[in-house]
Amino acid sequence: MENTIAQKLDALLKLQEIDSSLDEILKTRGDLPEEVRDLEDEIVGFETRLGKFKSEIANLNTEIDNFKNAQKEGEKLIKKYKDQQMNVRNNREYDAITKEIELQELDMQLADKKINEARARIRLIEEDANRAESILNERNEDLKAKKNELSVITSESESEEKALSAEREKHAKKIEERLLKSYQKIRDNSLNGLAVVHVQRGACGGCFSIVPPQRQADIRERKKLIVCEHCGRILADVESVQPVHQRR
């Protein structure tokens, strides 16, 4: 069965009353939810950075190992060359092997240099990582405190919020989808969260623009949906007929 306009307006008024109460509850949380989200984002950022530092250090350690292995191979080669040098048949062969040994020694020195560079780089990364880690610990402490604070505030209003949400669902069902959507849209665009208002002392209860007497009479009849010409809010009734709702 289709609801009458008057019934829809009543449901909208009820919805507005519930939503305003829910807004009040959210207000008690202040900036805490946003601060918690910001901290969580920041912590993810630090954890990502620490992960990068770790993998950079792991890569450098692999590099160092590779150079060390190459040096071991080099030592073996040098030893082999020196054995060969004992059995050369002439000076030319001896000189050729000496050259090979020299080249191999140069390679090993270069590897030493690279190893030292990698170690220095690791130390720098470790310093950055330590700094990041101590900030991360601070942020985690902050987050814990803020989450606790928020959960205390939230738990105080938890049962009220639940009841209001259930109540809200009940009344929302009485309103068709399209109307509910425009209600939500008006609410989202309004600073005070009011989408449905009364005419109070001849003016829109949302933006205080004057509502002409003929329009007030139409609103009083509650035969069609009338919105404020200035702010677009739904004008559910005129105050003198039904007193403006009281917030709990």
Positions that interact with Zn ion (CB under 5 A)? 204, 206-207, 228, 230-231
CB of 219 to Zn ion, least distance (A): 12
| Cβ distance to Zn ion smaller for residue 60 or 204 | 204
**Rounded to the nearest whole angstrom, what is the least distance from the CB of residue 13 to Zn ion in the complex?**
16
What is the C-alpha to C-alpha distance for residues 67 and 123, in angstroms, rounded to an integer?
18
CB burial string 174-202: b at 16+ within 10 A, e below: ebeeeebeebeebbeebeebbbbbbbeee
Please say which residue, 48 or 192, places its beta carbon nearer to Zn ion: 192
Least Cβ distance, residue 197 to Zn ion (angstroms): 7
Exposed/middle/buried for residue 120 (C-beta within 10 Å: 0-12, 13-18, 19+): exposed
Cα 207 → chain centroid: 34
Q: How far is the CB of 12 from Zn ion (least distance, A)?
A: 15
Considering the complex, state which of residue 40 and residue 239 has its C-beta at the smaller distance from Zn ion.
239
The whole-angstrom separation of Cα 3 and Cα 162 is 27
Distance CA 1, CA 223 (A): 17
Alpha-carbon span 155 to 150, nearest angstrom: 8
The helix (H) or strand (E) run that includes residue 138 is helix 91-172
Q: How far is the CB of 214 from Zn ion (least distance, A)?
A: 17
Side-by-side strand order, sheet with 234-238: 203-204, 196-200, 234-238
In the complex, the smallest distance separating the C-beta of residue 3 from Zn ion, rounded to whole angstroms, is 25
Instruction: Say which residues have a Cβ less than 8 Å from residue 158's Cβ, sequence separation at least 6.
Output: none
CB of 217 to Zn ion, least distance (A): 18
Nearer to Zn ion, 31 or 188 (CB): 188
User: Which residues does 184 contact at the CB level (< 8 Å), separation at least 6?
Assistant: 195
- Residue with smaller CB distance to Zn ion, 23 or 229: 229
Taking the least distance from each CB to Zn ion, the nearer of 11 and 204 is 204
Residue number with CB closer to Zn ion (172 or 234): 234
**Beta strand ranges found along the chain (DSSP E):** 196-200, 203-204, 234-238
